[in-house]
Chains A and B, each alone.
Chain A
Amino acid sequence: MTTTFTDITTTSWDDALSAIEKGYELGWGDGLPIVPPTIGRVAEFIGYAGRAPDEVLGELPERRRVITVEKAAANAVMAGCIPEYFPVVLAATEAMLDPTFNLVGPSSSMGGSAVLCIVNGPIRDQIGLNSRNNLFGPGNRANGTIGRSVRLILMNACAAIPGLFDRSVIGHPGKYTYCIAEAEGETHWMPLHVDRGFNASDSTVTVFAGESPRQIRAVGRPEAILYTMADVASTLGTSMSTSGSVGDVSVGIRQGQIVVTFAGNSNLWRDWTKDRIREYLHANIHRSVADLKRALVLPGDVEAGDEAAMVSLIPEPEDILVVFAGGEESNMASVIPSWGPKVGSTAVTKAIQIP
């Protein structure tokens, strides 16, 4: 199949090293070397996916950007993907450009979030995504390059340039790459995408505007892990707890979604469903009015009753995205608070079109 590009900038180079240096000169990227996006390689990706080069994946109207398949392909090549990963990148791009996700918020905010991609379904095994040991760490090409593709699309196609339209004050390492899979074959729990209305046989990607993962070490019993997790998720200093209300002013603080991951042996959780976990965490991720006043999030002096009066940080139990993933030790888990209020950005799941 011959691919006809509609929006293309060409350059030339003498060898691979020159091409990499040229990429730096052109400002293409995240600071790490790119794989040169040759016309042939980009066409190979588009051909594999079976999509038209000029098909629109979504728009960022505030920045006058229209993101097409060919733009996504060029960035997936630069990130080091192979063609078989590209359908995941396409679905992630469509998901983060869904208006519900409100990409302009988390991609520009001083809050410094990254787009976490959580992959479910058969494609995880087909392309070898890691869902176990060193979950958020290095060492796996699919996780590393799919997550990096999303960042390069944000920078090169969506104008999320640090210091210009990406105004993160701190940011976090997940802004280089932030892609995991759920170890859904190793747990009795319903996979995340089934929780969110898809069939188990579907392959999906869920995007979530997340702060960095906070690793949790707890005594390896369900009640102890959940109690510890709720404590960590209730800390001051997250965007959910320590920023003023946006949207629902009756609450006084930003209430947001949260991703939690559980590692280890699923047998430990045989008496717990994801629903039960969500109900427990929703009831226990909160902070006292007294503390929120001390942090100047809520107005006024601390008064009698404020220590016992609790404010929930999560709008509803279903706003807790539960994922079974991570290494073999059941005493380790993680919490990822959202960038901001649910009204500002809500997780989106899209089906991956596997050719």
Chain B
Amino acid sequence: MHDGIHVEKAGLPSATICTDRFIPTAQGMARMWGAEDYPTIFTQHPIENLDRPALRERAEGLATEVAAILTGG
């Protein structure tokens, strides 16, 4: 969240993905930096135990949302 917010503030479009267990932490970090409206994608926790095919499938499922955020759609 911290890095995504700062990349965005620097003028480079960013899209941040968090797992849903970290919603309060992500929102707290956004509030801390005055970026309450920073768009964040939440995906089901956990991802650490996913193998490569499952992780790829998860990423592909989020790709449209990521593209929309990056292009301001």
Contacts and interface: CB of A to CB of B under 8 A. Distances in A.
Contact of B32 (A64, A163, A167): A64
Contacts of B28: 164-165
Contacts of A159: 32
Nearest to B21: A167
Interface residues of A, number: 8
Interface in A53-106: 62-64
Contacts, number: 14
A165 B31 CA distance: 12
A235 B65 CA distance: 42
Nearest to A63: B32
Contact of B24 (A62, A63, A64, A163): A163
A163 B2 CA distance: 17
B24 A164 contact: yes
9 contacts: A64-B32, A159-B32, A163-B24, A164-B24, A164-B25, A164-B28, A165-B25, A165-B28, A167-B25
B32 to A, nearest CB: 6
Give chain B's interface residue range (CB within 8 Å of chain A): under 10
Contacts of A163: 24
Nearest to B27: A164
A164 B32 CA distance: 12
B25 A62 contact: no
Interface string B1-37: 0100000000000000000001011001100110000
Contacts of B24: 163-164
4 closest cross-chain pairs (CB), A and B: A164-B28, A62-B2, A64-B32, A164-B24
B51 to A, nearest CB: 10
Given A63-B32, A163-B24, A164-B25, 11 more contacts: A62-B2, A64-B32, A64-B33, A159-B32, A164-B24, A164-B28, A165-B25, A165-B28, A165-B29, A167-B22, A167-B25
Nearest to B3: A62
A167 B24 CA distance: 10
B3 to A, nearest CB: 9
A159 B29 CA distance: 11
Contacts of A62: 2
A63 B25 CA distance: 12
Contacts of B33: 64
